[in-house]
Amino acid sequence: MSETSTSTTNGPDAGTTPEPSRLTFDLDVDICVVGAGLAGLTVALEAARLGASVAVLEGRHVGWNASGHQLGTVMPGYGLPIADLIARIGFEDTREIWTLSKEGAESIRANTSEQLMPGIALSEGALEVSNVDVGDQLISRLQMLGEDFETEVEGWQVDRVRDHLKTDRYFHGVYYPKAFQVDGRKYVHGLAALARRAGARIFEETPVVSIDSSGIRKRIVTPSARLRASHIVLAGNIHLGAPLRRLSRTLLPVWRYAAVTAPLGERLAEAITFQGSVTDTDGIDHFRIVDGDRLMWASPETTWNARPERFAPAVARRIRTIFPQLGRVEISETWGGAVGHTVHGMPQIGQLRRGLWVTSGFGRQGMNTSAMAGRLIARSILWGDERWRLFSPFELVWAGGPTGRVAGHLIGIWGRGSSAAAGALARYRERARAKDRQRDVRLAEANRQAGTRPPRPRPPPGQPRPERPGPPATVPSGEGEPAMARSQESENFTPGPV
Ligand SMILES: Cc1cc2nc3c(=O)[nH]c(=O)nc-3n(C[C@H](O)[C@H](O)[C@H](O)COP(=O)(O)OP(=O)(O)OC[C@H]3O[C@@H](n4cnc5c(N)ncnc54)[C@H](O)[C@@H]3O)c2cc1C
């Protein structure tokens, strides 16, 4: 397993992790889970609740990687857009797996009451904002989500988005009233506590170095003990390594970094009044207010592992780009974790061979999807529920090794660059339209005072002047037509797809 970047000083795990307990004796269980992140712990919790004997083996400690360093936003759906899902697996199956993703989110809600996880701080609502001005697409998206996929959503016009987020960077928005957020970094430890309470045994500092999954009873080897289990669930994400190297190679590792600012006082309330999570449609920014007047913000990504504190200036700059009125912001904590992206963009959920399971590749949206996967796998092992097969079309595809990482990095840069360019173009067009409107008003006023029609545009150099039209029968008011002609002109100024 390679090293991963976690938090800087005063890290999120401080004070929340119980003493690690290493496995030092041999054990026989029904289910052995490899990895104590969100994916492994949800399988353990669900299976233990259904009565199985479960051992979780974690090479470092609970929530060591992404699961202990995420922002806690729980939304329905997947990293892959619905339209792409429909194209790949058809409408009916897309509806089914969408419903499963909502069930995953609701199972998190059921586990995150203050009673079950004290201090988890659940709050409601998430807003997905667009970096470009595509109101027409918003309507069809709302219709699809609301009517076809029975997801509660509200469309927010630009003005409403900007009432809550005072920036010209964002245009329309989709509000998810049923989405919610919790203290993401506490959640993984709460999950471990619930799994332990349900009877699962979690062993930390216990890396799995090899598995033999050929027999009915499978063998699992760690440096200090051996296990036998009827089922092995591989939930090691990009760090799985030796137990099944070919599986790790189907994931493109991407390190994502986040930060929280020092208290920003009143100026934050003036810039942002929305209290839930905000994500943009290009997956670049993800933020929300925490502790009343601090901003928690995830943004930069790399395809190599780096120290999170190096990204503090980048996060501060990004915040200032979106909300310049906040001025200089001080970053008080940074952290990061590696997420695993699959080539097709969907998680890996299913059975590789009899009794050998995989739950991985959750990318940036791992909360609801890993919760859903945990339920599906536990229910299949114990109840024979076969719905995990809905994920079979998303096979294990090699992610391209080091070359894949370089390509992934370049695609990431290109994607961010092109969405930044699209955003800049959308804002340019918006400013141009506003200027046009102002000019038209001034022109109309000047015409009204002079009692004339607006001057005709000069022909380009080298072209003959068109014939002068005869005097109009009546003097027009000067309003309406010129504005429309100009706004059409600016509408037509579209050098590329927006
Ligand atoms: C900054 C950031 C913010 C995010 N915010 C959100 C968010 O708001 N909402 C959301 O839905 N998602 C979010 N995500 C994504 C989410 O965190 C991940 O998708 C999810 O945590 C993946 O969980 P996992 O259990 O698959 O992997 P991991 O968290 O990587 O856990 C895998 C565990 O397996 C262990 N392991 C690996 N190999 C072995 C082995 N051989 N033996 C023993 N143990 C092993 C590792 O040590 C590790 O602890 C965010 C991610 C980041 C980085």
Ligand 1 pocket, mutate which of 3, 56, 204, 237 (most atoms under 8 A from CB) = 237
Ligand 1 site, residue 362, Cβ cutoff 6 A:
yes
* pLDDT for 19: 57
Q: Give the Cα-Cα-Cα angle 339, 198, 387 (nearest 5 degrees).
A: 55
The long-range contacts involving 397-406, CB below 8 angstroms and separated by at least 24 positions, are 397/250, 397/342, 397/343, 397/344, 398/249, 398/250, 398/343, 399/249, 399/250, 399/251, 399/252, 399/341, 399/342, 399/343, 400/252, 400/343, 401/249, 404/252, 405/252, 405/253, 405/303, 405/304, 406/303
Ligand 1 centroid distance, CA of 436 (Å): 49
Ligand 1 site, residue 36, Cβ cutoff 6 A:
yes
Ligand 1 centroid distance, CA of 367 (Å): 9
Ligand 1 site, residue 350, Cβ cutoff 6 A:
no
Instruction: Give residue 104's region: left, alpha or beta (phi > 0; psi -120 to 50).
Output: alpha
Ligand 1 site, residue 208, Cβ cutoff 6 A:
yes
Contact 359, 36 (CB under 8 A): no
Task: State mean pLDDT over 95-102.
Answer: 97
Tell me which residue has its CA closest to atom 18 in ligand 1.
366
Ligand 1 centroid distance, CA of 288 (Å): 20
Q: How many angstroms separate the CA atoms of 20 and 376, rounded?
A: 28
* Among 302, 307, 274, CA closest to 288: 274
Ligand 1 centroid distance, CA of 2 (Å): 14
Report which ligand 1 atom has the smallest distance to the Cα of 39. Answer: 25
Ligand 1 site, residue 7, Cβ cutoff 6 A:
no
* pLDDT for 415: 58
Structure confidence by residue, pLDDT tens digits, 212-270: 999 999 999 999 999 999 999 999 999 999 999 999 999 999 999 999 999 999 999 99
Q: How many angstroms separate the CA atoms of 75 and 290, rounded?
A: 18
> Where residue 484 falls among pLDDT bands split at 50, 70, 90?
very low
Ligand 1 site, residue 288, Cβ cutoff 6 A:
no
Give the position of tokens 């259904």.
50
Tell me which residue has its CA closest to atom 15 in ligand 1.
364
Report which ligand 1 atom has the smallest distance to the Cα of 298. Answer: 1
* Among 437, 439, 471, 467, CA closest to 453: 471
Cβ-count burial of 178 within 10 angstroms (0-12 exposed, 13-18 middle, 19+ buried)? middle
* Among 169, 132, 173, CA closest to 498: 132
Contact 340, 215 (CB under 8 A): no
Which two tokens mark 129? 């904002």
Ligand 1 site, residue 38, Cβ cutoff 6 A:
yes
Which two tokens mark 464? 């003959």
Q: How many angstroms separate the CA atoms of 323 and 307, rounded?
A: 26
Ligand 1 pocket, mutate which of 74, 335, 362, 368 (most atoms under 8 A from CB) = 362
Ligand 1 pocket, mutate which of 7, 65, 227 (most atoms under 8 A from CB) = 65
Query: What does the radius of gyration of the chain's CA atoms come to, in whole angstroms?
Result: 27
Which two tokens mark 144? 């699809």
* Pairing label, strands 173-181, 154-156: antiparallel
Structure confidence by residue, pLDDT tens digits, 308-327: 999 999 999 999 999 999 99
Ligand 1 centroid distance, CA of 66 (Å): 4
Ligand 1 site, residue 240, Cβ cutoff 6 A:
yes
Structure confidence by residue, pLDDT tens digits, 255-312: 999 999 999 999 999 999 999 999 998 888 999 999 999 999 998 889 999 999 999 9
Structure confidence by residue, pLDDT tens digits, 373-385: 999 999 999 999 9
What b-and-e string marks burial along 356-392, b requiring 16 or more CB atoms within 10 Å of the CB? bbbbbbbbbbbbbbbbbbbbbbbbbbbeeeeebebbe
Contact 166, 323 (CB under 8 A): yes
Report which ligand 1 atom has the smallest distance to the Cα of 57. Answer: 43
Structure confidence by residue, pLDDT tens digits, 103-118: 999 999 999 999 999 9
Tell me which residue has its CA closest to atom 53 in ligand 1.
337
Ligand 1 site, residue 64, Cβ cutoff 6 A:
yes
Longest alpha-carbon distance in the chain: 101
pLDDT at 11 over 60: no
Contact 483, 440 (CB under 8 A): yes
Ligand 1 centroid distance, CA of 161 (Å): 31
Report which ligand 1 atom has the smallest distance to the Cα of 62. Answer: 49
More confident residue, 224 or 141: 224
